Amino acid sequence: MSSPILRMTVFYAPEGWRIDAGDRCWGRFQYRVDAEEAALRLAAEARAEGRDAEVLVKRLEGALMRLSA
């Protein structure tokens, strides 16, 4: 049985851009692009370990956008 997909969501919080992976939150980035790059690196690491991973960005207006590595 395969493990569930690791979904990471980049979102804006009052303290800066963050990465939410369900049970963990990472970072406080000043710029969205920095948070996106960090999330893509984390997804690549997860894939290297054999896990499925995807990165979503919650835009300021609330829509979710999928990032591709």
Residue with tokens 């990032």: 67
**Closest C-alpha to 3, from 59, 46, 38, 57:** 46
Model pLDDT, residue 4: 81
Model pLDDT, residue 64: 94
pTM given for the model: 0.88
Model pLDDT, residue 5: 83
State the 10-residue block means of pLDDT for the chain, 69 residues long.
82 95 89 96 93 93 87
DSSP 20-45: E-SS-EEEEESSHHHHHHHHHHHHHH
